[in-house]
Amino acid sequence: MAPPILKLDDIFLSFGGTPLLAGAALQVEPGDKICLVGRNGSGKSTLLKIAAGLVEAQSGEVFRHPSSTVRYLEQAPDFAGFNTVQAYAEAGLGPGDDHYRVTYLLSHLGLTGEEDPKNLSGGEARRAALARVLAPEPDILLLDEPTNHLDLPTIEWLEGELQKSRSALVLISHDRRFLEKVSTATVWLDRGTSRRLDRGFAHFEAWRDQVLEAEELEQHKLGKAIEREEHWLRYGVTARRKRNMRRLGELQTMRSQYRGHKGPQGTVQATVSDAQESGKLVIEADKITKTFGDRPIVAPFSIRVHRGDCIGLVGPNGAGKTTLLKMLTGQIAPDSGTVKLGTNLEIATLDQKREDLNPEETLAHYLTDGRGENLLVNGEQRHVTGYMKEFLFQPEQARTPIRNLSGGERARLMLARIMSRPANLLILDEPTNDLDIETLDLLQEIVAGFPGTVILVSHDRDFLDRTVTSTIAPAVPDAPDGRWIEYAGGYSDMLAQRKGAVEERKKAEKAAERSKPQEAAASSDTAKGKGKLSYKQKFALDNLPKEMAKAEAEITKREERMADPSLFTKDPTTFNRLAAEMEKLRDSLTKMEEEWLELEMLREELEG
């Protein structure tokens, strides 16, 4: 076993009251890929800052190998003194580091390097900070929520970078799929202490449940032992006084252990307040478009959303997901086309920027809209502190300003407010940002069991796979051109359908290449020599428009059949067959259009 290059042992830190960290440990060896997991507020970010040397523990051992380099991903990067993102990223390099790597990283993170740091969005600032910490290829990388505000292509690229990186890695993330692909070890921070599993996150939840079951069994045994000792104390035969006093002391110790045991933090308990049922047809969009300047954001797009649907929107940052979402819900008018909203709609919205939060407002005031100490949930009057407990807030936090909350706590607070309002249409824009794994589990259960309709934007692949019934994605993933396609199923289903369509298209192209008549060029030369089209060319010129019209009609038929969201679930074989047929028809239509254009140009040339 290699000696550790970073070691934290018996770390203690308290801000008053219950200690945040009490005996926590973290050991990093060369090549480790460790994910640090735990509930919101369990001290994960604080422990990472102690490892980075940004926070000092009140007691415990902190060892960093003198020759090891450490880089920490800041949540709020400080750009003071830097005129460009390139200069900020290069400032993280050490002597002998490759400056070209900064350019490579910025380009893959969607930045040019010439951006003014003062004008960066939150997502762009996160990308710039990632380039700065990754560029030096340090011995130890400490990453706190590196995937927040990143789109799916960038998250998948980052996975590959971290998998092949020689740096030891300690990361915090809410993205299950990301943790599963990157981590090889797991450190669980729970009730101030830490436990280590030398396996990746994919094995964590089963292990955690075993640990908690064993702990519960030990507490049960301790309770039974206390009962036996108390029975002996009351009814047992008196022995020597000294022995009795020893047993009495042991009983007091056991009682202290039993009463002082702090169980695992509770889980969020919540359901969405019931609202009147909406109409069967929730949204009908017909050939809607939106263009910003010369750039198409939404090309003609049509969709019918029915009651009970759960639809996910995915795509690169800037592709227009939020714009399309706002068009579908009537917040933005399309340039052309129509959007009709159904009847009896009661909409609840979770905004990705958390703009609904006033930092100076207290939690109680936010939840009750300033209407005293109570709020109405499912027709029942609830005291605000009791309702807050269901979302893991302490009663004393009722008068706390929102500015004091962590990112995860703010997300939980917004969820608490949404769940208290009657709704039959949930609009969730990046709902998973900053949520811990357990709260994500609850949100998945709420969305999956919601009797109304849900439309959500998310980059969390696992969340999409567990919740949505269909996925809307750009037709061209790497270079969105405004065209959007609805796929049945979740994110993995979408990828499988795209892959099947691409494979079928490649097969068709190879078959076309093999069967292409070699005499086409000779026929064209003969026609030019005679000064007129051949009979075969004339026939093709007259009949190709009819064949193209037939192909377009067949494509439309298949598109209409595939628009049924339940088709993939009920009959995936038929769905995949239709997708493959549609790709072949589109390829055939393209070839016919090209052939007709060449013949028309040839005719004009000969007649001219």
Which pLDDT score is estimated for 581? 84
Residues 184/33, Cβ–Cβ less than 8 Å: yes
Average pLDDT of the chain, as a whole number: 83
Q: Residue 213 pLDDT > 50, yes or no? A: yes
* Nearest CA among 479, 501, 491, 481 for reference residue 562: 501
Which pLDDT score is estimated for 527? 45
Region 51-60: mean pLDDT is 94
Q: Residue 226 pLDDT > 80, yes or no? A: no
Residue-wise over 7-19: b if at least 16 C-beta within 10 A, else e? bbeebebeeeeeb
Band the pLDDT of 246: cuts 50, 70, 90. low
The terminus-to-terminus CA distance of the chain in angstroms comes to: 83
In CATH, what class is 1-69+138-199?
A: alpha beta
The residues facing 22 across adjacent strands are 12
Which pLDDT score is estimated for 529? 46
* SS3 state of residue 348: strand
- CATH code of 281-489, in short, is 3.40.50.300
How far apart CA 110 and CA 480 sit, in angstroms, is: 14
Which pLDDT score is estimated for 265? 55
Query: What digits encode the pLDDT tens for the residues 569-579?
Result: 677 778 778 87
Q: Which of 51-65, 242-256, 387-401, 483-497 has the lowest mean pLDDT?
A: 242-256
Inter-axis angle of helices 152-164 and 122-134, to 10 degrees?
10
Which pLDDT score is estimated for 405? 81
Q: Do domains 1-69+138-199 and 281-489 have the same CATH topology?
A: yes
How far apart CA 149 and CA 322 sit, in angstroms, is: 13
Band the pLDDT of 239: cuts 50, 70, 90. very low
With helix as H, strand as E and coil as C, how does 403-424 read? HHCCHHHHHHHHHHHHHHCCCC
Which pLDDT score is estimated for 305? 93
Residues 587/550, Cβ–Cβ less than 8 Å: no
Sequence ranges of the domains in the chain: 1-69+138-199, 82-131, 217-260, 281-489, 494-607
Which pLDDT score is estimated for 530? 46
Query: What digits encode the pLDDT tens for the residues 87-114?
Result: 999 999 988 888 899 999 999 998 999 9
Give me the torsion for CA of 325, 175, 141, 95, rounded to 10°: -30
Which pLDDT score is estimated for 589? 83
Band the pLDDT of 23: cuts 50, 70, 90. very high
Report percent pLDDT > 90 for the chain.
36
Q: Which of 94-108, 350-364, 485-499 has the lowest mean pLDDT?
A: 350-364
Quick count: other Cβ atoms within 10 Å of Cβ 446? 20
Which pLDDT score is estimated for 233? 65
- Of 390 and 69, which is predicted with more confidence? 69
Region 155-181: mean pLDDT is 93
Which pLDDT score is estimated for 434? 73
Which pLDDT score is estimated for 583? 78
Report percent pLDDT > 70 for the chain.
85
Band the pLDDT of 522: cuts 50, 70, 90. very low
